[in-house]
Chain A
Amino acid sequence: MNQIIDISNWQLLLGLLFILLAQISSFVFHLGLNRDIAIGTIRTFAQLFLMGFVLTYILQSDHQLLVVGVFLVMVVSAIFIIKGRVAEKQVSYLFPTFLTMLVSYFATAMFVSGLIIGSSPWWEPRYFLPAGGMVIGNSMSALAISLERFFRDLRQQRDQIEMQLSLGAGYREASAEIFRTAVKAGMIPSINAMMGVGLVFIPGMMSGQILAGIDPMIAIRYQIVVMLMLVGATTLSSVTIMLLIRKRCFGSGEELLLTSS
């Protein structure tokens, strides 16, 4: 049972038939996705092979700084992806977002790896990096949703906000509803995932462990920890970031700085 079947290069290329199917569909139905599918496929191969080599090296070298360095690279990459998805020019949000992501995700990965799983040392790459990777990957999407929603609603509801400010509301009071809606929008996917897990889908990590021959009862324990960790990390990072960013959207007179242009 513990013997894992390797996938040869030829077998891997056979997987490209799925991509061929997508390319044909895009061509026939004029979806305009041929270029994106091609680039996405090349990047999937390149990035994952690169990660495979890096992880093999890190797991063998067992060096703390290297593990932390890889974690840092993952957070920096996530920031660039968020930057691409949140088109905000008036308020500088990247630095506080980066700092919050770095601190909250590091703390979460450290807590899970060192305390819940109990690996020793806490940064043992086999546990710390997958935990960190999953936190970054999932929370990054949540943050992008929250930030994009927050900036959009502040602009769209400018008149409502100014009406409340004019009647003596503080900036926190005037933007309370928009704040709540934005944070909720980011959190809902990870909460929905908890509703559907094990019923609607088998999560990637658990599937991977089962494929690798791990007892399903151990795999589900890991998966439960991951689901809880994702909700916690998403909440912690999105609430912190939104609190920091909200302050930047208002000036010294608590006037809304975002304009519709």
Chain B
Amino acid sequence: MLEPILEIQDLSFSYDGSSEKIFSHLNLKVTAGEFLLVKGPSGQGKSTLLRLICRLQQPCGGSIRYRGREITKIAPSELRSSISFVAQIPRMIDASVKDNLLLPFTFEANKAKSPPSDESLRLMLRDFYLESVALAQSAMKLSIGQMQRLAIMRAILLNPDILLLDEPTSALDPESAAMVFSLIERLNIDEGKTLITVTHSDYVPKKPLAAVYRLHERTLHKEQ
């Protein structure tokens, strides 16, 4: 049995001041290269689960281990360079597409990583169905679908071990959503990226090995 890259044990969470638990005794093991799809209706805490994994929120109990280490023992910026989270609504800084893509490389924790050249950025833009987008143009003028793909590309540039995608298609039209799902599948199949994607859509991944979980009654249930 492969060592899990991510292991969640007995995780519980409730919002500040609330006695009602969103999760209770939630367990999950993820191995490298796995593609997890977490489904369930809105308001069940799917996004919160992702935010707990990258420490954007703190759990009430239980543990999350990344490569065998308790995540609370890893410097937050180091953890988030290895486990990248892409939010439901993509956010850009008011600058060019290139500046947005290279933003992570300006942070101290990523200084050792070398930023990609303009040429490789252009090639990647094409792979992300953004061939019509120029590096010099303003990122704020892109459509929401383009921004979402750009946000995923920006996260991928850091070469994280795990990519957490929070409802990546919720704000998109069907055509853009299909592009994003196709992109996600390629990242997993071609590049072997470990992916945890949260969605409440009816999307069924092409890859037969993708594990589908449903968040129900405060814990995760694996679907056959």
Contact = CB atoms under 8 A, between A and B. Distances in A.
A206 B86 CA distance: 58
Contact of B58 (A159, A162, A163, A253): A253
Contacts of A165: 56, 76-77, 80
A169 interface: yes
Contacts of A62: none
Contacts of A164: 103, 107
Contact of A166 (B16, B54, B72): B54
A56 interface: no
B180 interface: no
A168 B78 CA distance: 6
Contact of A160 (B77, B81, B91): B91
Nearest to B106: A173
Interface size range of chain A in the complex: 20 to 34
Contact of A168 (B86, B89, B91, B107): B107
A167 interface: yes
Interface in B108-123: 108-110
Nearest to A160: B91
Contacts of B80: 165-168
A167 B55 contact: no
Interface of B: 16, 54-58, 72, 76-78, 80-81, 84-87, 89, 91, 93, 103-104, 106-110, 151, 154-155, 158
Interface of A: 159-160, 162-171, 173, 251-256, 259
28 contacts: A159-B87, A162-B56, A163-B87, A164-B103, A165-B56, A165-B80, A166-B54, A166-B85, A166-B87, A166-B155, A167-B81, A167-B104, A167-B154, A168-B77, A168-B104, A169-B104, A170-B76, A170-B77, A170-B107, A173-B106, A173-B107, A251-B58, A252-B58, A254-B55, A254-B77, A255-B56, A255-B57, A255-B58
Given A166-B56, A167-B155, A168-B77, 14 more contacts: A160-B91, A162-B56, A163-B87, A166-B80, A166-B86, A167-B80, A167-B110, A167-B158, A168-B78, A168-B81, A253-B58, A254-B55, A254-B77, A256-B56
